[in-house]
Amino acid sequence: MIARAAKIRLRDKIDSLPEGEALPILAELGKEFDIHPSTVFRILRDLVTEGVVWQSPSGKFLPASARASGVRGLPVCFIGREMWQWSRLYQELLEGVSEVCSANGSPLVLLSAPSLVRQPDPLAPPKFAGTAKQKLELRQLLSAIPRPCGGILFDHLWRDKTLSDLNLGTTPTVQLVHGSGKIIPVAGPDYEAATNAAGQFVDEHGPSELHLVIPFEGDPAIDQAVNLLREKFTNIHEHTFAQAESPAFLVDRNPDQNRIVICPEDNIAHEIGMQFVKSPTASQPILFATQGTGILRAPMSRLRFDFRRIGKAAASFLLHGSSHRPPSPLMLKSDPDL
């Protein structure tokens, strides 16, 4: 009851603060409300979560409305894969981030982890760093973050066990594309909406056979997409990318057979489509891709996510405290005349 009353009084005090003025230090607030400073801190952290208060990089608590001016000009860091490993997805994400940073006068600082992912060719299975390697590399990268910092964006390949060791003080953080959300907030697409869109697509075409091409394992976003598709379609035939490239998969022994092939990674989906085109004995299945990066074009049916918008939402959350709603995909169906 005492803490609840103190929270109400704190909110009243916040509402009455002159513009740009911070709350007094914890010891003074504790004395004013006759509670321990640690209780004051806990209440303030609750108010931060509720979007009432903002804790600046200096540690001061201010009304949430002061956040934008408080971080104006401070750099935003992206900590992730090396630039030459960026996919179309990450290019779009960071274009959106850069747009918001530019409007805020905030430099975008890129800190690269060489071992986070190794993939010499977009069609080769990538190799991902283990937790121990991730922790070692992340500790080194964190020491290079400029202080103060407006916010930090993490590649979705960083694992929870790695991120759980972070000690970033009041610096806001976001994980891009995918994450559990247990350690830091996540700005990413709506994977369940993508799965439901795939389900509607399959229902519309009524295939006699349904196939799922698993591009590789170890990328948490791809793994989740695969698992959601498995849950959605209990009668789906699974193949690795190597199996999907084989003549046995390409050649359809029944010309009247209606096959749908689903792939949750666009580079792999594009290559499979090219293999069907090149094979003179293969009857064309309906190929449906769900990752949504924009690599694919008609006549392939595919989903499209606005990853640039996701990047803008992530940067806006860091710099302005704006909330993020995962966008649903746009369905782009094949045009038989193309």
| Residue 14: per-residue pLDDT | 84
Task: Note down the domain range covering 28.
Answer: 2-66
| Residue 337: per-residue pLDDT | 41
Task: Specify whether 55 is located in the same domain as 77.
Answer: no
| Residue 257: per-residue pLDDT | 67
> What is the count of structural domains for the chain?
3
Q: Is 336's pLDDT higher than 50?
A: no
pLDDT digits (tens, 9 = 90+) for 41-60: 888 878 876 667 777 766 78
Domain boundary among 16, 40, 66: 66
Task: Specify whether 260 is located in the same domain as 161.
Answer: no
Task: Specify whether 165 is located in the same domain as 219.
Answer: no
Decide if 334 is inside a domain.
no
Closest CA to 74 of 140, 148, 131: 148
Task: Specify whether 150 is located in the same domain as 109.
Answer: yes
Q: What is the CATH number of the domain that holds 293?
A: 3.40.50.2300
Decide if 338 is inside a domain.
no
Given the DSSP bridges, would you call strands 108-112 and 127-128 parallel, antiparallel or unpaired?
unpaired
In angstroms, the CA 207 to CA 86 distance is 35
pLDDT digits (tens, 9 = 90+) for 261-280: 999 999 999 888 888 777 65
DSSP track, 278-302: H-TTPPPPEEEE-S--S---TTSEE
Task: Specify whether 35 is located in the same domain as 96.
Answer: no
SS3 label, residue 247: helix
Decide if 332 is inside a domain.
no
In angstroms, the CA 20 to CA 76 distance is 22
The CA distances from residue 174 to 166, 177, 228, 310, 321, in Å, are 13, 10, 23, 11, 11
Decide if 61 is inside a domain.
yes
Q: What is the CATH number of the domain that holds 42?
A: 1.10.10.10
Task: Specify whether 172 is located in the same domain as 207.
Answer: no
Question: Which residues, in sequence order, are CB contacts of 281 under 8 Å at separation 6+?
Answer: 250, 251
Does 244 or 191 have the greater pLDDT score?
191
Decide if 336 is inside a domain.
no
Task: Specify whether 83 is located in the same domain as 153.
Answer: yes
Task: Specify whether 180 is located in the same domain as 314.
Answer: yes
Does 246 or 256 have the greater pLDDT score?
246
In angstroms, the CA 126 to CA 253 distance is 33
Domain boundary among 45, 66, 87: 66
The CA distances from residue 95 to 108, 210, 333, in Å, are 10, 36, 26
Task: Specify whether 83 is located in the same domain as 167.
Answer: yes
pTM of the model: 0.81
Decide if 333 is inside a domain.
no
Q: Phi then psi for 71, rounded to 5 degrees? A: -110, 5
Task: Specify whether 295 is located in the same domain as 226.
Answer: yes
pLDDT digits (tens, 9 = 90+) for 130-185: 999 999 999 999 999 998 899 999 999 999 999 998 888 778 899 999 999 999 99
Domain boundary among 66, 82, 103: 66
Decide if 313 is inside a domain.
yes
Task: Specify whether 267 is located in the same domain as 253.
Answer: yes
Decide if 97 is inside a domain.
yes
pLDDT digits (tens, 9 = 90+) for 120-142: 777 788 999 999 999 999 999 99
In angstroms, the CA 155 to CA 134 distance is 12
Task: Specify whether 109 is located in the same domain as 159.
Answer: yes
